[in-house]
Structure 1
Amino acid sequence: MKINRLIYILSCLVAFSIFTSCEDFLNAENISSSNEAQQFDSTADTFSALVGVYNQIIGDDGYGQRLNLYYPQSADDFKTSGDYNCNDRRGISTYGACTSNPDLNRPFLKLYSGIERANLCIKNIPLSPVYQTGSTADKALMDHYYGEALTLRAMFYYDLIKNWGDVPMQMVPSSDLESVYLPKTDRDIIYDKIIADLATAAQLVPWRSESGTSNTRFTKAAVKGLRARIALARAGYSLRRDPRVMAKGSNSEVYYKIAYDECRDIINSGQHGLNSSFEAAFRPLHENTEDAAHEVIFAVGAYGGNAATDSKIGYYNGMRHDDASNWKSSGGINAIATYFYEFGKYDVRRDLTVASMQINATNQAILSTGVLCTDGKFRKSWTNVTGTAQNLAIDWPLLRYSDILLMFAEADNEINGNPSAQAVDAVRQVRNRAYAGNLGQAGTIPTDKTGFFNYIVHERLLEFGGEGLRKYDLIRWNLLATKIAETRQKLSDLLNGTGQYANVPSYLYYKVSPYDKTKSAQAALQAIDVYVPAGVDRSDVYYMPSVANTPAGYTRVNWRAAMTATYINDPAKGYAQYFEANRKELLPIYNDIIQSNYNLTQDYGY
């Protein structure tokens, strides 16, 4: 079957439905049951069609599982648990996915289904009688919807490009195409188109305070933030088809300036800020509410308890809860064993980002081994859902204000040849929050171009761990191969207890402790009775050799001793075992999709 026709049919067959907890989101009418003109003959019906576009972001094949939890592994922060299989998520995580891997199939089609739905809105909103002859208020509302549709289409294309590189570009509904056998379009052409579209959208979509909507819909700041992120990707490196090398896009300075301007506008708007508590950005996502500072600028909303419109965030990933506990969750994403030690001892982000504890069968808190820590920003026990349920209605933080600050600083540094005072201050805001209560330990921010860039590279590692950004950051900086090699060396040093890991304890000792889910991540960890030698501060136990024998009444858990050569080099279990520079920076396209379009090529050595 022709690929675009298949996408169009899928788009029509999938009924539009509510995708988020926001009460003013309506059940949307399926366009297949009415003609296009009827679907856009009122603001209510147009909004219903727009909800159908938003609907394609979430679910198992979107930002409910695969796009945000499977595809971003492994960088130098997290990886998928379990043994290698080229035909499942573990093949993706180890850079060894086969073209027959079914996890590559439906996300690709879902993104194009979203593009098809967005194209219908983008085509028909300007043709609507409401848009042409309606009231000023109705026309403004239709402009708002048009801007959101442009933004959603840009987001879908960005997700396609960052995972598959050059892809077919379709900017009209499938029914308007002369031929549905579309070849690939160079990604820079697509980037330029969607960057221009987002400039238009930013003029049409209001600021948060003017919109009266939740952060699960695009506001002006979200549009501008997405435009900045895409501009940095356009300015940076990506794996090209011919020749097959990592290369920068042309005219990078133009796109750094776009990112700079957009982030500056958001900063100056006063619409968003940093919460004083790092954790405060993530707890509300478990309740479908917004944080007090509006730090989460855009979240992918999850709702409905099903695979199409909900998420497995907090069940598949997040802190592990034993199957027999009140909250069964798998903890399917593990922190790379060295990631814990990328954080400073006083960095409050560490104990939230890297969950070094888990919940046992009797709902008690225990320590994890050094290789089985999980991503901790998402926790099933922070929801009201118990039992075996997998869909938890946890929203996904696609864009946070701290990202705006760090993107601004990065672009400023590139434009000026060194960071301005404003760029240094932007980074300092992020850093100071991480060291709240211990600002004297926050360190000094470099002010030369190279030093500042490297500082941002590391700061983004600490700030966004588990949020699906790291691998794509490293790719646009052309640092993925470098950081994988560095991480493999660090893992070897950890295994041998050498270098910076010379004093890492082989074992930790603890007593099973009550778990209070209302406590912060740091407080919950501190509540575990960990053995601390006399005269030693508890914060130092991760940075000093363990005592020789298990203290009376305590349980021993392998910390550094859990690291083995298998973790690094085994074909089934090794970290990033199948990565190849200038090839595996991108995923293969699922083979049936290739076969459905004779103009579509696989490329990149697959």
Structure 2
Amino acid sequence: MNKNKFLAIFFSIVGMASVYSCSDYLEVENLSNTAEKQQFDSASDTFAALVGVYNSAMGDNTYGQRMNLILSQSGDDFRTSGDYNANDRRGISCFGAVPTNTELLRPFLDTYAGIERANLVIKNIPISPVYQTGSAADKKLMDRYLGEALTLRALFYYDLIKNWGDIPFQEVPSADLATVYLPKTDRDVIYDKILDDLAKAATLVPWKSEAGTTAQRISKAAVKGLRARIALARAGYSLRRSPQAMVQGSNPQKYYQIAYDECKDIINSGEHKLNPSYEGLFRSLHTNSQDATNEVIFAVGAFGGNSRTDSKIGYYNGLRHDDTDWKSAGGISAIPTYFYEFSKFDLRRDVNIAIFRVSTTKQEDLQTSINWNDAKFRKSWTNITGTSQNLGIDWPLLRYADVLLMFAEADNELHNGASPEAVSAVLSVKQRAFAGNSGQVGTIPTGKNDFFNFIVKERLLEFGGEGLRKYDLIRWNLLETKINETRQKLVAFMNGTGAYANVPEYIFYKKPASTVVNYVPTKTAQQNVLDMDLYVNGIAKADVFYSPNQSVATPTGYTKVNWRLAMTQPYISGDPIKSYAHYFEPNKKELLPIALDVINSNYNLTQDYGY
């Protein structure tokens, strides 16, 4: 047996091994002890095989860390912390990854393992005895399982395309192929196929209310929302092999219409709403508590306390804790100018960005501007203490806020400007962000270009740290533009000019007594910031971050923290070890290289894109 076929079959078997889950439906039979045909001879056994497909999205190599937190860097919001190395996670963030980069292999292979598992389910359900002669109830279940497998396979192919472009495409299990040495297939061909698959899946999978399942299980809204996201990617730009350039997909209006229709169906269904609390939405993910509004339409589950099915969300990324109770790494850093994209009245700012870290004595230590972290995920919001890296935090892959903004974007493209429905959709997202200060929402433009730019900005604010930004910028063909704009903003930030003329050079804050614990995780993210003892010198505490310094001498008892002064030229450009997006090259670095081991295992697979 050749190496590729062995790996594919091995992963399909291992993925369906018996697992433990916090959800009742994640219980599986060990496929290694049964023949393929026997695995699908009952609805319950078929469901066990389907769980193996779900499991493929879990763990360190996919949505437990690498696919969502590492491969997604960098945009104009966050970057991976630390100094550049071409062969690790920082090489990806700086756009300098090489084929030997250690972060590239497992996400690629494990995603294909998920496709293999999905192919087994998709092949065997229509020919199973249950499907052909079983009860009507069992046939309905099998239809649902088929729809879920089609949806997960579509997600896996989308993940591969958005990171690697054209990739090998197969719709049947590897054992059924004449050869496993497949060449690349044009991504538009794959996109069209999986969009058709999702259209079929939407007829098979029930709405959440009909099935009574949690967000960790695919519902009709999840199918439709994913189809909208993929349709927007198909309508947008991507880096092509020949010519090696960013090119928009053919017939974009067709795909904007798909996105529009799917999002409108979700909106009209009444199944999902915005959680009135932006922060509460993310807190619920930390405790596996049910969100009554069902804003999270689909979340990748995390359980088991291991690298295969759990996640490092909240440990690898998020608010950094140096204390032993909530020890966590803070592996993602905010680009300082991102803080100033938010209005001071926008409640999302302090949820998305942590300007402090928690010290060994559980005190809030204000950080210099180049040491802020993403903050939507915090170990201290979980019930887990100690040194554990696996926190059981689910990944919110699709939210209702995303549906509203995708709907508005597609509406704008189809109607050459924003309709009242599109304005209403984005207004609801904006009003939540300014809860308590609705007068600060401002006017939403309706002209096509202005509304598009509004959407670009609003998605930056709403989805910071959720692994969407880089891919949004790519499909809009704005990645190069935004990287260059961010560099210009960083220069202005460093020099205190333009929009940053009133940003202070430094901020003074007073550390509490060594015996005082002042980080309280039950307080809101905004209150955590306002509770810090900042030197205000006669102004409101909330205005400290927006007011030039009025004193040079450090007040008695306070510590001086460089704010604007922390920004230096090596961070911006010129230093290949430290500077933001240093190795980005347009028409090349929009995609990642394929891992060398993968290239070496398939003589029909080419590297491409200048790597």
1:515 to 503, 516, 519: 519
- Distance (Å, rounded) in 2 between the aligned partners of 1:453 and 1:362: 46
> Are 1:8 and 2:9 counterparts?
yes
Aligned to 2:25: 24
Letter in 2 for 1:6: L
> Are 1:529 and 2:533 counterparts?
yes
Name which of structure 1's ranges 364-373 and 389-398 shifts more when overlaid on structure 2.
Answer: 364-373
> Are 1:401 and 2:400 counterparts?
yes
User: Displacement of 1:302 after TM fit?
Assistant: 0.3
User: Displacement of 1:15 after TM fit?
Assistant: 5.1
CA contact (8 A) 2:494 2:564 kept: yes
CA contact (8 A) 2:147 2:200 kept: yes
Aligned to 2:269: 269
CA contact (8 A) 1:4 1:181 kept: no
Letter in 2 for 1:290: Q
User: Displacement of 1:172 after TM fit?
Assistant: 0.2
CA contact (8 A) 2:259 2:406 kept: yes
- Distance (Å, rounded) in 2 between the aligned partners of 1:104 and 1:563: 31
Aligned to 1:491: 490
> Are 1:577 and 2:576 counterparts?
no
User: Displacement of 1:5 after TM fit?
Assistant: 4.1
Name which of structure 1's ranges 80-89 and 5-14 shifts more when overlaid on structure 2.
Answer: 5-14
Aligned to 1:549: 553
CA contact (8 A) 1:413 1:419 kept: yes
Identify unmatched segments of 5+ residues in structure 1. Answer: none
Where in structure 2 are the equivalents of 1:13-92 lying within 5 Å?
13-14=14-15, 16-18=17-19, 20-26=21-27, 28-92=28-92
The TM-score, its normalising length taken from structure 2, stands at 0.97
Letter in 2 for 1:377: K
Q: Secondary structure at the match of 2:340?
A: helix
- Distance (Å, rounded) in 1 between the aligned partners of 2:607 and 2:498: 43
**1:400-456 CA-partner distances (Å, limit 9, x unpaired):** 000000000000000011111000100100111111111111111111000000000
- Distance (Å, rounded) in 2 between the aligned partners of 1:172 and 1:30: 21
CA contact (8 A) 1:320 1:330 kept: yes
The TM-score, its normalising length taken from structure 1, stands at 0.98
Where in structure 2 are the equivalents of 1:303-314 lying within 5 Å?
303-314=303-314
CA contact (8 A) 2:324 2:387 kept: no
Q: Secondary structure at the match of 2:370?
A: coil
Letter in 2 for 1:150: L
Where in structure 2 are the equivalents of 1:579-594 lying within 5 Å?
579-594=584-599
CA contact (8 A) 1:94 1:579 kept: yes
Name which of structure 1's ranges 327-336 and 288-297 shifts more when overlaid on structure 2.
Answer: 288-297
- Distance (Å, rounded) in 2 between the aligned partners of 1:509 and 1:262: 50
User: Displacement of 1:235 after TM fit?
Assistant: 0.3
Q: Secondary structure at the match of 1:62?
A: coil
- Distance (Å, rounded) in 2 between the aligned partners of 1:290 and 1:237: 37
Q: Secondary structure at the match of 2:371?
A: coil
2:570 to 566, 571, 590: 566
- Distance (Å, rounded) in 2 between the aligned partners of 1:365 and 1:40: 55
Aligned to 1:183: 183
- Change in 2 beyond 3 A, CA 1:488/1:97: same
User: Displacement of 1:21 after TM fit?
Assistant: 2.2
**1:69-109 CA-partner distances (Å, limit 9, x unpaired):** 10111100000001111100000000000100121001100
User: Displacement of 1:518 after TM fit?
Assistant: 0.8
Identify unmatched segments of 5+ residues in structure 2. Answer: 513-517
Aligned to 1:454: 453
- State the aligned residue count: 603
- Distance (Å, rounded) in 2 between the aligned partners of 1:339 and 1:187: 32
Where in structure 2 are the equivalents of 1:339-354 lying within 5 Å?
339-354=338-353
User: Displacement of 1:466 after TM fit?
Assistant: 0.2
- Change in 2 beyond 3 A, CA 1:448/1:231: same
Aligned to 2:157: 157
- Distance (Å, rounded) in 2 between the aligned partners of 1:192 and 1:415: 20
Letter in 1 for 2:75: A
Aligned to 1:106: 106
- Change in 2 beyond 3 A, CA 1:577/1:4: farther
CA contact (8 A) 1:325 1:363 kept: no
| RMSD over equivalenced CA pairs, Å | 1.1
Name which of structure 1's ranges 417-426 and 523-532 shifts more when overlaid on structure 2.
Answer: 523-532
CA contact (8 A) 1:104 1:590 kept: yes
> Are 1:482 and 2:515 counterparts?
no
- Distance (Å, rounded) in 1 between the aligned partners of 2:32 and 2:185: 29
**1:515-566 CA-partner distances (Å, limit 9, x unpaired):** 11111111122111111111x1112111111231222222221111111112
- Distance (Å, rounded) in 2 between the aligned partners of 1:136 and 1:15: 26
- Change in 2 beyond 3 A, CA 1:267/1:188: same
Letter in 2 for 1:55: N
Where in structure 2 are the equivalents of 1:416-431 lying within 5 Å?
416-431=415-430
- Change in 2 beyond 3 A, CA 1:378/1:20: farther
Letter in 1 for 2:338: Y
User: Displacement of 1:19 after TM fit?
Assistant: 7.0
> Are 1:595 and 2:600 counterparts?
yes
Q: Secondary structure at the match of 1:247?
A: strand
**1:453-495 CA-partner distances (Å, limit 9, x unpaired):** 0000000000000000000000000000000000011111111
Where in structure 2 are the equivalents of 1:323-362 lying within 5 Å?
324-362=323-361
Q: Secondary structure at the match of 1:510?
A: strand
- Distance (Å, rounded) in 1 between the aligned partners of 2:14 and 2:264: 42
Aligned to 1:366: 365
CA contact (8 A) 1:19 1:55 kept: no
- Distance (Å, rounded) in 2 between the aligned partners of 1:179 and 1:73: 35
User: Displacement of 1:31 after TM fit?
Assistant: 2.5
- Change in 2 beyond 3 A, CA 1:30/1:170: farther
User: Displacement of 1:16 after TM fit?
Assistant: 2.7
- Distance (Å, rounded) in 2 between the aligned partners of 1:603 and 1:442: 46
**1:152-177 CA-partner distances (Å, limit 9, x unpaired):** 00000000000000000010001110
- Change in 2 beyond 3 A, CA 1:20/1:501: farther
User: Displacement of 1:3 after TM fit?
Assistant: 3.2
User: Displacement of 1:14 after TM fit?
Assistant: 4.6
**1:357-415 CA-partner distances (Å, limit 9, x unpaired):** 21101011221211111111000001111111111111111000000000000000000
CA contact (8 A) 2:52 2:117 kept: yes
**1:225-246 CA-partner distances (Å, limit 9, x unpaired):** 0000000000000000000000
CA contact (8 A) 2:77 2:460 kept: yes
- Distance (Å, rounded) in 2 between the aligned partners of 1:544 and 1:16: 58
- Distance (Å, rounded) in 2 between the aligned partners of 1:20 and 1:507: 48
Aligned to 2:231: 231
Aligned to 2:515: none
Aligned to 1:540: 543
**1:493-528 CA-partner distances (Å, limit 9, x unpaired):** 111111111111111112235111111111122111
**1:321-348 CA-partner distances (Å, limit 9, x unpaired):** 01x4421101010001110000111111
- Distance (Å, rounded) in 1 between the aligned partners of 2:219 and 2:54: 14
Letter in 2 for 1:539: A
